[in-house]
Chain A
Amino acid sequence: EDQVTQSPEALRLQEGESSSLNCSYTVSGLRGLFWYRQDPGKGPEFLFTLYSAGEEKEKERLKATLTKKESFLHITAPKPEDSATYLCAVQHTGANNLFFGTGTRLTVIP
């Protein structure tokens, strides 16, 4: 059975203070690992898809990496507008749906 565990549950950072969010996963054949951002009262917004161990993707202040057991979302010099809940999800081979973790709620303080 697929499992996705995200840590920490909540993270408070000062503006400019870099950090990382963790997503540990267990899946029977990984088709893709997804990172989404969710703002209050909105649906999840796509950030990245990672397909295989060793892969990295970047977008502005965010960088996602993938190993065989976990993924990290690195946030470099965050700004208050990066405050949101970050969701990790996996899709196993043969499936078209996503299995989500519970998310990390990030707050960036000016």
Chain B
Amino acid sequence: EAGVAQSPRYKIIEKRQSVAFWCNPISGHATLYWYQQILGQGPKLLIQFQNNGVVDDSQLPKDRFSAERLKGVDSTLKIQPAKLEDSAVYLCASSLDGFRHYFGPGTRLTVT
């Protein structure tokens, strides 16, 4: 079974630039999550999709972050404009039952 795929693995941008991350979940998994993990901290939920609908985006900074899930499969997370404090690892996870999460390798973002 193929795991959760994410790209790019690493990205360095300057503040005020924009960036996009891509995630392909495990086939058949209806629930998709984006988590932000700042160095030395645990992952924090940004947004949760059920198929192509948003279930929870209460922690998403909507003035700069946006996300979509195309046709209930792939998802993109965008940051525009980026701030220094957005430097983190962005983890995508998927779940078959909304319970156990399967995480991708993450995208490490550095904002300079």
| A interface residue numbers (CB < 8 A to B) | 4, 31-32, 34, 36, 41-46, 49, 87, 89, 91, 95-103
Q: Given A96-B50, A100-B44, output 12 extra A-B contacts at Cβ < 8 Å.
A: A31-B99, A34-B101, A43-B4, A43-B91, A43-B104, A43-B106, A46-B102, A89-B42, A96-B31, A96-B55, A97-B45, A103-B42
Give per-residue flags for B82-93: 1 if the beta carbon is below 8 A from chain A beta carbons, else 0: 000000000101
Q: What residues of chain A lie closer than 8 Å to B108, measured between beta carbons?
A: 41
Cα A50 to Cα B71 in complex, Å, equals 33
Q: A96-B48, A96-B55, A97-B33 are in contact. Are A44 and B43 (CB under 8 A)?
A: yes
Question: How far apart are the CA atoms of A58 and B3 in the complex, in Å?
Answer: 24
Pair B99/A91 contact, Cβ less than 8 Å: yes
Q: How far is the CA of A100 from the CA of B93 in the complex (A)?
A: 14
User: What 3 pairs between A and B have smallest CB-CB spacing?
Assistant: A100-B42, A43-B103, A96-B98
Q: List 9 A-B contacts (CB under 8 A).
A: A41-B106, A42-B106, A43-B103, A43-B106, A46-B100, A49-B100, A87-B43, A98-B101, A103-B41
Complex CA distance for A46 and B103, rounded to whole angstroms: 9
Whether the pair A87, B95 counts as a contact (CB closer than 8 A) is no
Q: Which of B42, B43, B101, B105 interacts with A42 by CB under 8 Å?
A: B105
Contacts of B56 in A (CB 8 A): 95, 97
